Amino acid sequence: MNVLVTGAGGQLATELIRRAPGAAEVEALDIEQLDVTSSSRVRDCLESIRPAVVFNAAAWTDVDGAEANEDEALAVNRDGAAHLADACGEQGIRMVHVSTDFVFDGTSTRPCRIDDPTSPLGAYGRTKLAGEAAVLDRLGDAGLVVRTAWLYAAHGRNFLRTMLNVMSQRDHLKVVADQRGTPTSAASLATALWDLVAAGASGIHHWTDGGETTWHEFAVCIRDTGRAEGLLDHDVTIEAISTSDWPTPATRPAYSVLDTSVTEALLGRSPRPWSEEVRDVIGELAAAAAGESGA
């Protein structure tokens, strides 16, 4: 089975390649090889590769930057998804498109279900929601949209790696404690995406790691696990602050936990707790650091 992954070099694309089943022949293309904002390049690329499935991991993910550059974010998150969906529809290809918890406004008091009303608070969420619509309107049952949240990995730019770097240089930092969601490792998401393809899933699905937490509690877990794995050689005080104490260009949802029950029922399994995934990723970083030092 030929498979195309867009957004090569990103944390999700990297994990999709790592966790590909043995029967899959994966070709991953970065923005230089495939600019999804060009409909002609997308069509020509798919005609050349002739994949059975396209995983769209190409995205504008700079949440704050999208506020000042919504047109540029739309070109990737909406138009890029539309170009891929058009080409997939023309050529009979299944498409998996990754979306976000930011399509919700954060006012829910329970995990957000796949059929809950969407109401993005900012440009990033609006562009991702537009991308969802583009895929589903064009592809119907041949399209799969998977919303996830708070993605991180042992590589790339993400909260976990940023926190470890900051903590290695400081003994005190402040982290927001009034936004709730679910950290999700790119590895666990990639595995779920492959499983959803195998299960013939379509429409909208949610997948995150298990449980919920705040950015502050996430940072505490990173600190404690980092110390246990030898990546941090000193203690770090992590002060809990409110969102109003840390203003950003984009407004974040206060509560964006996703209800994954529909996907769990389809796959016949539940996600691992988010803290266990954090331990695995930090363990991977620690093993890499030990290898570099010759330990």
Residues facing residue 6 across a β-bridge: 29, 56
What would the DSSP string read from start to end of 80-96?
IHHHHHHHHHHHT-EEE
* Average pLDDT, integer, range 218-240: 96
Residue 176 inside a domain? The answer is: no
pLDDT at 294: 63
The number of C-alpha atoms within 13 Å of 51 and in the hemisphere containing its C-beta is 26
Q: In percent, how much of the chain has pLDDT > 90?
A: 95
Residue 178 inside a domain? The answer is: no
Residue 36 inside a domain? The answer is: yes
pLDDT at 289: 87
Residue 234 inside a domain? The answer is: no
Number of domains the chain contains? 1
Report pLDDT digits (tens) over 248-273. 999 999 999 999 999 999 999 999 99
Residue 132 inside a domain? The answer is: yes
- Is residue 172 within 8 Å of 28, Cβ to Cβ? no
pLDDT at 293: 62
**Is the four-CA dihedral 147, 151, 157, 162 of positive or negative sign?**
positive
Band of residue 18 on the pLDDT scale cut at 50, 70, 90:
very high
pLDDT at 165: 96
pTM strictly above 0.85 = yes
Report pLDDT digits (tens) over 163-222. 999 999 999 999 999 999 999 999 999 999 999 999 999 999 999 999 999 999 999 999
pLDDT at 133: 96
pLDDT at 295: 52
- Between strands 184-185 and 151-152, the pairing is parallel
* DSSP-H helix ranges across the chain: 11-18, 39-49, 63-68, 70-74, 81-91, 123-139, 159-169, 186-198, 215-228, 261-267, 274-293
First-to-last C-alpha distance (Å) of the chain: 40
Does residue 152 carry a catalytic annotation?
no
Whether pLDDT at 59 is above 80: yes
Q: Which helix (H) or strand (E) is 172 found in, with range? A: strand 172-176
Band of residue 290 on the pLDDT scale cut at 50, 70, 90:
confident
Report pLDDT digits (tens) over 136-153. 999 998 899 999 999 999
Catalytic residue among 60, 102, 104, 124: 124
* Average pLDDT, integer, range 13-17: 96
Whether pLDDT at 111 is above 90: yes
Q: What is d(CA 190, CA 186) in angstroms, rounded to the nearest whole number?
A: 6
Residue 224 inside a domain? The answer is: no
pLDDT at 292: 73
Burial class of residue 174 (count of CB atoms within 10 Å of its CB; 0-12, 13-18, 19+): middle
Residue 219 inside a domain? The answer is: no
Q: What is d(CA 77, CA 241) in angstroms, rounded to the nearest whole number?
A: 31
Residue 295 inside a domain? The answer is: no
Domain that holds residue 262: 2-157+184-209+256-272
Helix and strand totals (H; E) in the chain: 11, 12
- Is residue 187 within 8 Å of 15, Cβ to Cβ? yes
What is the residue-averaged pLDDT of the chain?
Answer: 95
Instruction: Extract the tokens encoding 272.
Output: 């691992």
Residue 87 sits in a domain of what CATH number? 3.40.50.720
